[in-house]
Amino acid sequence: MGVSPWLRRLAWATLVANCLLVVTGGAVRLTGSGLGCPTWPRCTDSSFTPHGEIGPHQLVEFGNRTLTFVLVAIAVATFVVARQDARRLGRPDLLRLAIVLALAIPAQAVLGGITVLSDLNPWVVSLHLVLSLAIVSLAVVLLDRLDHPPTAPARGVVPTLAWTTYGVAWLVLYAGTVVTGAGPHAGDASSPRNELDPLQISQLHADLVFLLIGLTVGMWFLTRATGGDTRPALALLAVEASQAVVGYIQYFAGLPVAVVLLHMLGASLVMATTTWLLVSALHPPDDPDPWPVEGIHTRGVHW
């Protein structure tokens, strides 16, 4: 007896919708529509919807705000189904995850409002993206929990390296938001920039990317050597390679909007696959040590 098919569908819907939110949020900034609705929670001082002469900036910004209602609907449905499954299966962890995901949606809306009220301060804008990526990560955790009830996590070299990879992935993604804050796509012509040197910040971002790729390669070798699941590491390597190519193209092509949007989609995929790598590494071993050498236990992993 497992979780209901509807909960699995809703968990996937949560992941996909929040990846889409990253892309639509990027479209708002890249098209200069960040202040298309110049206030919050209303779009204008007198209305929750655009009024008067409606242009593309208003439509893009209001469309991004409207997506919040889709996320709320998914979150409420996930909560209802998770509550039923939690009772039926004795799995309160599913309900807790659904509650946190549901609460993250209004938190994201409030942070979006602060972003507008701060005239698109680049440091606040970066936090707006960071929260979206955190929701993406939590959605992957929920998907993993559907098939793996909570247990004591594995300990040793593999989980430690997985946590390190996950942490470096966050550094890479946050550095990417800082690069954006130094670049030309402010979201509005009047919005401030973070006044950092784009070249230096881009170099730091690239250095962190190389570190992340190296750690991911290390995870693949280690999971393969210990008989673990190598698919998450392979998936992450594929996403990283694609992101690197897109990143170089956007840099040398002068940051064209379509390519930058693709890079933002890649950022959400990096977070999703890195989280998959982490949760897979934390699964406790369920089979004997494949290399029973005295003093070395590879299936823990304890050296």
Amino acid at 70: V
- pLDDT at 303 (0 to 100): 39
SS3 content of the chain, % helix, strand, coil (to 5): 70, 0, 30
- pTM of the predicted protein model: 0.87
- pLDDT at 1 (0 to 100): 63
Q: What is the pLDDT along the chain (303 residues), one digit of tens a residue?
A: 689 999 999 999 999 999 999 998 888 877 777 777 778 877 777 677 776 556 677 777 877 888 888 999 999 999 999 999 999 999 999 999 999 999 999 999 899 889 888 888 888 888 989 999 999 999 999 999 999 988 888 888 999 999 999 999 999 999 988 888 877 766 666 677 777 888 888 899 999 999 999 999 999 999 999 888 999 999 999 999 999 999 889 878 888 888 988 999 999 999 999 999 999 999 886 644 443 334 444 444 443
- pLDDT at 274 (0 to 100): 98
- pLDDT at 300 (0 to 100): 42
Distances (CA, A) of 141 to 94, 105, 279: 10, 17, 7
Nearest to 185 by CA among 245, 132, 267, 258: 258
- pLDDT at 187 (0 to 100): 60
- pLDDT at 299 (0 to 100): 43
CA 76 – CA 104 distance, rounded (Å): 12
